[in-house]
A = this chain, B = another copy of it.
Amino acid sequence: MVRDYGFWFVVCTVLVFGMAVRESSIEDILSRIRHASKRVTVAKRTVAQVLAEATGHLSADAITVAVQEREPDVSPSTIYRILEEFEELGIIVHAHLGQGAAVFHLAGTVHGHLTCEICKQTFEIPSTHFDDLSHDLLESYGFELDRHHVALSGTCAQCRAPGSTPHG
């Protein structure tokens, strides 16, 4: 993967594409808020930044902590209200993993979740894995699978391996 020109391709991709996407997605979020006749506030702006900078999925609590690092006066209830609004506007989606709190991420990142029941780690996988199942469920039951919201439980490779550390 990372060799000769491939390395620079990756670097440029991260710098140009990654940064650009993040900047634009924040502006995109804010413009969606304005477009819905909602108000753009410091709290919403900060939540948008946290979500755009997050590599994976965040719980409401993790988002609150991250937001309060920058804006200490934003309260948890405000975070919940903002997340609710963002979800209604289609900016973010949430998923319920095996146990515990719900997790949130930008709606653009369509993927499924695998949660290990033993080590509690969560893995993101491309939603293409659910294409066949999605067709199957639609044909069999007329059920339209929400591939943004898929969260499956099971045992991860590390925890299945006999010798290795079970809590990798």
Contact = CB atoms under 8 A, between A and B. Distances in A.
A98 to B, nearest CB: 7
Contacts of A116: 143
Nearest to A100: B96
A140 B125 contact: yes
A129 interface: yes
B149 A117 contact: yes
A72 interface: no
What number of copies of this chain does the assembly contain?
Answer: 2
Contacts of A140: 125, 129
Contact of A133 (B129, B141, B149, B155): B129
Contact of A157 (B130, B136, B141, B160): B141
A141 to B, nearest CB: 6
Interface of A: 96, 98-99, 114, 116-117, 123, 125, 129-130, 132-133, 136-137, 140-146, 149-157, 160
